[in-house]
Structure 1
Amino acid sequence: MDTTKFTQFLNQLSEHPLPVIDVRISLDSYIPITISDKNKDLLNFDISSSLAWEKYINSFLEDNNAEVAFGGYFEKRNIYDRSDYFKNLAENKKRNIHLGIDLWCNANTKVLAVLDGEIHSFKNNTNYGDYGPTIIIKHQIEEDVFYTLYGHLSLSSIENLKVGDAVLQGNVIGFLGDSSVNGDYAPHLHFQIIKDLEDNFGDYPGVSSEENIEFYSRNCPNPNLLLKLSI
């Protein structure tokens, strides 16, 4: 399926927003956030500190009377500069363009399967700044196969999983982790759609370099095709 048909296919799967975190949190309590150099608030604290990040996110939510801050697809971010994991030191290239949508909210928030599928893989990705505990679900609708990735989970989220376990849309598949396990970030879910997993297991790049963005724009379409959040 070509890129245009794939995005149309995803968009037509539901007319309504598909929940990926606890449905008890009203969509009226969601607010967009920018985590890029366009957000001048980020100049006022140390972006390398997860505690400072969490304080900022909590203040942002409180100031806006919200429970979830979301956004970030194809956003260029300086936060990844803190970790060598996002740098190709040999070629002097860095990955700083975000390929998913982040939902910033409280640790231990329930994470839901966005569609019916099965557990493809899971892994604790422990590099500094990485996903931490991660689940990938395989979806097959008629002949079409694609994947969704759920990153920055709690350790308990991957303790009792088995590859091939069936999941239904809306099933609780895990919980958000805190900074001690989630790659050293304020608690949030990284949600990403992947067309071709390229033989990866429990992991897939969530951040691209500018040199590779054309490929990832095709392989990782906007998760908002499913979430349908107002931005």
Structure 2
Amino acid sequence: MKTIKDILEDQKDVYVIDSTSIYKNYVPFDLSAKHTDELNLDLTDAEKFEEFVENHLSANNAKVAFGGYLERRNLYKRSETFNSENTEERNIHIGLDLWIKAGTSVLSALDGKIHSFQNNISLGDYGPTIILEHEIDGVTFYTLYGHLSLESLNGKREGQLVKKGEKIAELGKAPVNGDYAPHLHFQIIKNIENKKGDYPGVCSSKDLGFYKENCPDPNLLLKIVN
């Protein structure tokens, strides 16, 4: 039987946001703690953060900024969702972020069905989120799409079939997307256990081994960087 890595690498021409923005128009985006500390970047102001993203895109003549898989960030320090007195700090990002304007179409990566969806409303969380279930060559896995618009959840139902490249949502603005500059958090999940409408997108150093294994690099599927 093929491994999930084999299956992801076998897929071709996969896009999860407006496919007119082809990958040659993408630019890497570094939000690691080291880099944002050097820039003295205020990550708590979504409006300034969005301006920073727009300036990065403009300076690189790009349409989409991408990055973040296994990146250690300071972005989550402001929220008790990731920093509580009783748990280890979660600051390692285990999905891929695609930074582009609110309202941009979000596409299903592959054929599948809606596994679950919900609005995760805590500060710094996903906001509106959709999780799809896929089965290829006898292997079941999931893709998560976070930081969507509220309207993206309208009319959705569990089990609803979706096709590869089908529009399933739009990106949300800061007031509903967890208070971030607009972007898509895209994540692949092997075993979702009993979770619905939500799955950790950031982990602690202690749990990194588990999540690195359970959430493969999304670039295996998207192939933004070969």
TM-score range, shorter chain: over 0.9
For the residue of structure 2 that corresponds to 1:80, the secondary structure is coil
* Residue aligning to 2:71: 75
Q: Does the 8 Å CA contact 2:4/2:139 hold for their aligned counterparts?
A: no
Q: How far apart are residue 61 of structure 1 and its match? A: 0.5
Q: Could you tell me which amino acid in structure 2 is paired with residue 70 of structure 1?
A: F
Pairing partner for 1:210 from 198, 205, 217: 205
Paired residues, number: 226
Relative to 1, partners in 2 of residues 1:42 and 1:123: Cα closer, same or farther, differing over 3 Å? farther
Instruction: Could you tell me which runs of 5 or more consecutive residues in structure 1 were left unpaired when the two chains were aligned.
Output: none
Deviations 1:146-189 (A, max 9, x none): 00000000001001101110000000000000101000000000
* Residue aligning to 2:25: 29
* Residue aligning to 1:223: 218
Aligned Cα RMSD in Å? 1.5
Q: How far apart are residue 81 of structure 1 and its match? A: 0.5
* Residue aligning to 1:197: 192
* Residue aligning to 2:166: 171
CA distance in 1, matches of 2:211, 2:36: 28
CA distance in 2, matches of 1:140, 1:229: 23
Pairing partner for 1:114 from 100, 106, 109: 109
Q: Does the 8 Å CA contact 1:17/1:229 hold for their aligned counterparts?
A: no
With normalisation by structure 2, the TM-score equals 0.96
Q: Could you tell me which amino acid in structure 2 is paired with residue 25 of structure 1?
A: S
Q: Does the 8 Å CA contact 1:124/1:134 hold for their aligned counterparts?
A: yes
1:128 equivalent in alignment to 2:123: yes
CA distance in 2, matches of 1:41, 1:28: 29
Q: How far apart are residue 25 of structure 1 and its match? A: 1.4
The aligned runs of 1:30-69 (5 Å cut-off) are: 30-40=26-36, 43-69=39-65
Pairing partner for 2:4 from 3, 6, 9: 6
CA distance in 1, matches of 2:104, 2:37: 26
1:182 equivalent in alignment to 2:173: no
Deviations 1:86-109 (A, max 9, x none): 024114x11000010000001000
Q: Does the 8 Å CA contact 2:108/2:168 hold for their aligned counterparts?
A: yes
CA distance in 1, matches of 2:71, 2:104: 24
Show structure 1 runs of 4+ deviating over 4 A.
Answer: none
CA distance in 1, matches of 2:89, 2:213: 20
Q: Tell me the percent identity.
A: 50
With normalisation by structure 1, the TM-score equals 0.94
Q: Does the 8 Å CA contact 1:101/1:192 hold for their aligned counterparts?
A: yes
Relative to 1, partners in 2 of residues 1:96 and 1:229: Cα closer, same or farther, differing over 3 Å? same
CA distance in 2, matches of 1:141, 1:25: 26
For the residue of structure 2 that corresponds to 1:94, the secondary structure is coil
CA distance in 2, matches of 1:184, 1:139: 29
Q: How far apart are residue 44 of structure 1 and its match? A: 3.3
CA distance in 2, matches of 1:211, 1:84: 18
